[in-house]
Amino acid sequence: MNAQSTPRISADGTVLHLLLGEAETRFHAIWLRDNALDADTRDPGNGQRLITLGDLPDTVTLTDARLAEGQLHITFQPEGKTCAFPLRWLADHTYDTSAPAPLLTKNVTPWDSAMAPPSADLTALQTNDDTRRDWLASIRRYGFAKVTGMTPREGGLFDIVDLFGYVRETNYGRLFEVRTEVNPTNLAYTGLGLQAHTDNPYRDPVPTLQVLACLENSATGGENMVVDGFAAALRLRDENPAGFDLLAGYPMRFAYTGSAGVALHSRRPMIELSPDGTLQSIRFNARSAAPCTDVPFDKMADWYAAYRRLSDIIDDTAQEVHFKLAPGEAFIVDNTRVLHARKGYSGAGNRWLQGCYADKDGLLSTLAALEAQDA
């Protein structure tokens, strides 16, 4: 550290100026105090904060900033409490930037039909942490991955969920059968082709992951397809930014009332952004789209034009990756991002898939823990 890196405190004591790497960055006294890392502020065992904002003085100021051994030592007033912050930790948590929030988070890469589907063998996933980490990372990056080498048995798909988390049970059960039924409660249970869609947008919270595993597939047709909803939304945004803003700016309605005792309704946008504009999730499902009643009359024609264009983009084969699952193969999609579809099927032979839902919290947590283990 050279002389330039000496930390400086603003005249009123509320802001610290600090050279981190090449750039000067600033932290507020209240931010530093609230996020102090000492054992009276954070439980050393479980890392949870032991104080609330109400435990702090009304005004927090700083004195005596100095650097030693890669740490900032600083004293909070009126408490007279000195705390240390590793400079690396401060660099990882700087907020003094003029960059707007990115449209996509750093671990997300959009894709089109040229994507080679990530895939791994179930036994390898169960026995090799590196294989499992890389496969989970590909789901975080692409919202999609395949699994091979399953025993094609009932409930076998739970072995996939056990790799990272927990099944989300719903009115469809812990798992559901995807095969042709008489009097189907859902068009999924017919031989009809299905446009690419996210599942259960009428559910809030939506299931954030879906697994579909193949037990039999000797019917003609029935290929699966996946489409990156983020890539489709970005393409819409490039072509028609105002249309993108309309789909992101108003809630859509979705509904499902096809089974006795079930009346699911949601009110969420087709393109969901964080409040600072990061792409968060996609809901797209023609089957369960309810009448849209939250868009003002004067904007409805443009909203529908954008919706139709998004639908066309989703139907464009340039966006689509397709494959036919063999018995013992499965795929997982991030249901907040990647749409899935199937071609119609018919004729002799059978097509039998089993599906289940799960959630991303467990998947991302397991991945982050595996990555931390490597670090």
Site for its own copies in 75-94 (CB under 8 A): 93-94
Stretch that binds its own copies, among 115-123, 147-155, 203-211, 348-356 (CB under 8 A): 203-211
The answer to whether residue 364 forms part of the interface with its own copies (CB under 8 A) is yes
Closer by beta carbon to its own copies, 116 or else 182: 182
Beta bridge partners of residue 268, listed in sequence order? 252
Q: Which of residues 306-325 bind its own copies (CB under 8 A)?
A: 307-308, 311-312, 315
The rounded distance, in Å, linking the Cα atoms of 138 and 128 is 16
Closest approach of Cβ 154 to its own copies, in Å? 20
The answer to whether residue 297 forms part of the interface with its own copies (CB under 8 A) is yes
The answer to whether residue 51 forms part of the interface with its own copies (CB under 8 A) is yes
The answer to whether residue 185 forms part of the interface with its own copies (CB under 8 A) is yes
The rounded distance, in Å, linking the Cα atoms of 216 and 224 is 14
356 touches 167 (CB < 8 A): yes
Closer by beta carbon to its own copies, 119 or else 128: 128
Task: Work out the number of other CB atoms within 10 angstroms of the CB of residue 187.
Answer: 13
- The 218-257 site mask, x for binding its own copies (CB under 8 A), equals ------------------------------xxxx---xxx
Among 275, 347, 348, 374, indicate the residue that binds its own copies (CB under 8 A).
Answer: 275
The rounded distance, in Å, linking the Cα atoms of 304 and 297 is 11
Closer by beta carbon to its own copies, 251 or else 327: 251
Number of H helices, E strands in the chain: 9, 23
How deeply is 335 buried, as exposed, middle or buried, from its count of CB atoms within 10 A (0-12, 13-18, 19+)? buried
Among 75, 148, 186, 240, indicate the residue that binds its own copies (CB under 8 A).
Answer: 186
Q: What element of type H or E holds 370?
A: helix 360-374
Q: Which of residues 146-165 bind its own copies (CB under 8 A)?
A: none
Among 169, 239, 318, 346, indicate the residue that binds its own copies (CB under 8 A).
Answer: 169
**Residue 246, Ramachandran bin (φ over 0: left; ψ between -120 and 50: alpha; else beta):** alpha
Q: Which amino acid is at 312?
A: D
